[in-house]
Amino acid sequence: MKKNYLAYPYILWLFAFILIPLFLVLFYSVSSKDSSMLTLDNYKRFFDPIYIQVFVRSVNLSLIATLICLVIGYPVAWIIANMEPAKRNFWVLLFVVPMWMNFLLRTYAWMTILENTGIINTLLEKFGFQSLNLIYNSQAVVLGMVYNFLPFMVFPIYSILVKIDKNLLEAAQDLGADKKSVFMKVIFPLSLPGVLSGAIMTFMPAVSTFAISRLLGGGKVTLIGNVIEQQFLLVNDWYFGSALSIIMMGFILIFVYILRKVEKDDEERSIF
Amino acid sequence: MKKKLFLILVIGAALIFAGCGGEKQETLNVFNWGEYIDEDLISKFEEETGIKVNYETFSTNEDMYVKVKSGGSSYDVLIPSDYMIEKMAKEDLLQELDYSKIPNITNISPMFQDLIFDPDNKYSVPYFWGTVGILYNTEQVDDVVDSWDILWNEKYANKILMMDSQRDSLAVALKKLGYSMNTRNETELEEAKQELIEQKPLVLAYIVDEIRDKMLSGEGAVAVAWSGDAMDVILSGETFEYIVPKEGSNFWIDAMVVPANAKNPDAAHKFINFMTDPENAAANSEYIGYSTPNEAALELLPEEMINSDVAYPSQEVIDNCEIFRDPGDFISVYNRIWTEVTIY
């Protein structure tokens, strides 16, 4: 208790840069340009079909991206976790190094790869194939999400897999389980917490991104993040923008809560 | 315990305030469009006056407006367009210029003075002007280009570039339909929205600053472009042409203004006068390819620029164009329509 004062700078930080701004956003979301009365109009406006459509699109694309990350990320985490420690660190490093580079730069790089006159299409044409429309559509946006957020899926899973007690696997095999059952009944259930935090860490930035959809969607794939950006930077309607942000926060909170609940239920089951 | 808390607060406060003060050099904050100045001129201004220039850029008038209006940062010189100047003047965001400090104003052609958005040039000194039109690559386009309709031609699907700019893109659709780009009629705007939504599957991308690169690399075949950007592309590649469609288009003027809350209006006036000097205006125009309203500078520009229909169109073409006006509160309808187009 004595050393509690070490926490004060953070508490100060928490108030100044997290709680007060959050409160301001909340306040804006229930205010309006025209009157000083509090109002829920900004929230009502969200239920206009056109905004619901964007919302559904954002959730859809982010869920697809999260799923692809899981399908790609799990085997990668598994492979790395089963390497000798020395090799393992090298591979982890390979995954981390690209993240040291600014993510906008990496997304711009994708543009030059996917463009009509980009690397892939130039090669395709060289070998006599038809060129493809790879950029400025929702697939390109999903690709950008997967590329940028894949490490957030791999690392949580990896850090759990690497800690699984190998004796458990041997025990399962001794009791007659084949490879498939060992994976389905022992490894995968044990790694579930990693999968869940990986899913949350991938889904959250994906659903709120506006840069990836701007660069790889070319202004044609508008996500909820773009609408929020537009409210603040173009239309100057901070009230509606704030309401949208609060709705997104609420949605992510519910998403995280449900995932956590799934995880807890699962723990209970595994005890009995 | 309490003493320690106090100590931490004091140290924290001291650290925060240590960041301010110190620096005494005179500074000037300039806020301009992206890729819209010959940056050598900034160094030249700094050398001549000893004033340090902080240069920042924006990509649409609306971006600029929100940033100035929200008051987070203070600028001394802004370079917005006509309708935005009208709006900002109405909202008392600009200060009147002191022409005794801008003797170079006499260089500006009368054609660009006392225009409708700022009668008497109370607030603004013209910087560049131009039109909005269609820039196309003759290697990829074999139709006759003289109308906005080409942007709806399915033959060029995925080769069409539109502007990610509310007023400009809506203006294209409104003009195509034969309406005024300053319309205050909601049904006309709804029709324009339908046009843009129909066109959307054909559009490669909605961008602003990247249009030049995408045209030069052959990504796009037809683009809505500002005449200056078009000039730049035409001078760099041989297969490009630019026209102002027959339905009419936008004639615009970007001008230098001083915001009401400028910290250094004196330096701002110096900067405006500096940029209006014939030699500097000519260098600037030659460097970025936009058309100068500076009569004295025209004589210093290369022939190929002055004789170009792209940069200096005939009076007939200009007369067929409209200047954007500030729609006042009606802007909320424009905002809604454009949001619905982008979201769709």
What does the domain layout of chain A look like in residue ranges? 49-271
CATH number (3.40.50.720, 3.40.50.300, 1.10.3720.10, 3.90.1150.10) of A49-271 reads 1.10.3720.10
**By CB neighbour count within 10 A (0-12 exposed, 13-18 middle, 19+ buried), where does B16 fall?**
exposed
Instruction: Based on the fold, state whether residues B327 and B178 are members of the same structural domain.
Output: yes
Interface residue A10 vs chain B (CB under 8 A): no
Count other C-beta atoms under 10 Å from residue A203's C-beta.
25
* Residue B4 belongs to some domain of the structure: no
Cα–Cα dist B9/A247, whole Å = 35
Q: Identify whether residues B178 and B81 lie together within a single domain.
A: no
Does residue A1 surpass a pLDDT of 60? no
pLDDT at B19 over 80: no
pLDDT band at B16 (very low <50, low <70, confident <90, very high): low
Mark which residues 43-62 of B lie under 8 Å from A by CB: 60, 62
Question: Does B256 lie in the same domain as B107?
Answer: yes
Task: Give the minimum alpha-carbon distance from A143 to chain B in angstroms, rounded to a whole number.
Answer: 17
In chain B, the percentage of residues whose pLDDT exceeds 90 is 78
Q: Is the dihedral of CA B12, B15, B20, B22 positive or negative?
A: positive
Q: Report CB contact under 8 Å: B217, A8.
A: no
Mark whether B222 and B334 lie in a shared domain. yes
Rg (CA), chain A: 23
Q: Residue B219: is its pLDDT beyond 50?
A: yes
Q: How far is the C-alpha of B181 from the C-alpha of B199, rounded, in Å?
A: 18
Of residues A8, A218, A222, nearest to B343 (C-beta) = A222
Structure tokens given for B41:
């001129």
Assess B5–A contact: CB distance below 8 Å, yes or no.
yes
pLDDT band at B72 (very low <50, low <70, confident <90, very high): confident
Contacting residues of B for A133, CB less than 8 Å apart: 158
Cα dihedral A143, A148, A151, A154 in deg (nearest 10): -20
B161-206 confidence digits (pLDDT tens):
999 989 999 999 999 999 999 999 999 999 999 999 999 999 999 9
Q: What is the pLDDT of residue A224?
A: 95
Question: Residue B13: what pLDDT?
Answer: 55
- Tell me how far apart the alpha carbons of residues B134 and A22 are, in angstroms, rounded to a whole number: 45
Number of structural domains in chain B: 2
- Are residues B200 and B257 part of one domain? no
**pLDDT at site B3:** 53
Quickly state the pLDDT bin for A267 (edges 50, 70, 90).
Answer: low
Does residue B140 sit in the same domain as residue B268? no
> Is there a contact between B206 and A220 if contact means CB atoms under 8 Å apart?
yes
pLDDT band at B122 (very low <50, low <70, confident <90, very high): very high
Nearest alpha carbon to residue B285 among B309, B266, B306, B261: B306
Q: Which of residues 199-228 of B touch A (CB under 8 A)?
A: 200, 203-207, 217-219
The answer for residues whose C-beta is within 8 angstroms of residue A111's C-beta and 6 or more apart is A118, A135, A215, A216
One domain, residues B92 and B106: yes
Same domain, B162 and B91: no
Question: Does B333 touch chain A if contact means CB atoms closer than 8 Å?
Answer: no
Averaged over A67-74, what is the pLDDT?
Answer: 97
Question: Containing domain of residue B97, as a range?
Answer: 22-129+252-313
CB-CB under 8 Å, A227 with B343: yes
Mean pLDDT, range A116-128, rounded to an integer: 90
Which pLDDT belongs to residue B148? Answer: 97
| Phi, psi of B253, rounded to the nearest 5 degrees | -130, 125
**Together in a domain, B34 and B45:** yes
What value of ipTM does the predicted structure carry? 0.82
Which residues of chain A from 75 to 134 reach within 8 Å of chain B, CB to CB?
A: 115-117, 133
A chain contacts of residue B344, beta-carbon cutoff 8 Å: 50
Here the CATH number for the domain that contains residue B224 is 3.40.190.10
The arithmetic mean of pLDDT across residues B67-79, rounded, is 88
Report the pLDDT value the prediction gives residue A117, as an integer from 0 to 100: 85
DSSP letter at B25 equals S
